Amino acid sequence: MAIEERFTSLPTVSSAQLTDIICAVQGYTSESVLGTSVQESLQQVYNLFQSNIILFNAGNPNGSVAGTTYQFCWDTTNDVLYICTTSGTTSTAVWTNVTAGSSIFQWNDVTGTSVAMAQNNGYIANNAGGVTLTLPASASVGANIAIVGNGAGGWTIAQTVGQQIHVGSSATTLGASGSISSTNRYDSINLVCTEINNTWVARGGPQGILTIV
C-alpha cells in the first residue's frame, strides 16, 4: 500500500488472501510515544469486524446504529467511514464522518421520536408524533445542518448548555431551554455554525412559520 493511500483507494483484487499485508499501523502509547509500526493483514482487519470494533451500515449510521466511542462504521452505500464520537443507542449515538477529503452531505430519514444530530447532515423528520432533533455537541465553524419536515407531527430543534440559534433578528433562549419548532408539516430550515459548538444561524429564509422559544 502506497504512503498515505486510503483504504478506499485500494484496487479490487478477486484473489486476495487473508494473509495478505494491506498496511502498516503505527502503535500508540501517548502523543509523545507513538510506538513502532506493525503490519496489518486482511485477517486482522476481518477480526476487527468480527469483534464489532468496525461496523457497517447501508447509509449514514446516525439515527440507525448504536455505538461506543471509538468504534468505526463503514457506510456501504456512500463509501464513507464514520467514527463514534458520542456513545449511545440507535437514536442517540453520534457518528462523525472521518473519510479524508469527503464533502458528502448526508441525509437521514428519522422515523423515531428523537435523534442527536451530527454536523454536515440533513434530517427528514418523519414521525407522526413529532421528532426532537438535538444540536450536535461538537460542531466546527462552517458546519451545516438541514431539517425538512415530512411526518404529520412536525419537528423541534433542541439545544444543550451554551447553545443558541439565530433566525434573522430573532434568537432562541440561550441554553437547554431554547428551541425552534415547526408549525406546519413540511416546514424546513438550514443552519450554519458560526461559533464552534454553540452558535447556529439560519442560512436563508426558513420554509414555513417557525416557533422560536
Over the chain, what is the mean pLDDT?
A: 82
In this prediction, residue 12 has a pLDDT band, given cuts at 50, 70 and 90, of: low
Residue 2 has what pLDDT? Answer: 42
What CATH number is given for 105-213 in this structure? Answer: 2.60.120.640
- Predicted local confidence at residue 78, as pLDDT: 74
Q: Where are the domains of the chain?
A: 105-213
Mean pLDDT of 23-38: 60
What is the mean pLDDT of the segment spanning 177-204? Answer: 95
pLDDT in tens, 129-153: 999 999 998 888 888 999 999 999 9
pLDDT in tens, 43-62: 666 666 666 678 888 888 88
Band of residue 1 on the pLDDT scale cut at 50, 70, 90: very low
pLDDT at position 5, please?
47
Say what percent of the chain tops pLDDT 90: 41
Per-residue pLDDT averaged across 9-32, rounded? 60
pLDDT confidence of residue 178:
97
Q: Which residue has the higher pLDDT, 159 or 101?
A: 159
**Range 125-133, long-range pairs (CB < 8 A, 24+ positions):** 125/149, 125/150, 125/151, 125/153, 125/154, 125/155, 125/182, 126/150, 126/151, 127/151, 127/153, 128/152, 128/153, 129/153, 130/154, 130/155, 130/156, 131/155, 131/156, 132/156, 132/158, 133/157, 133/158
Mean pLDDT of 99-128: 85
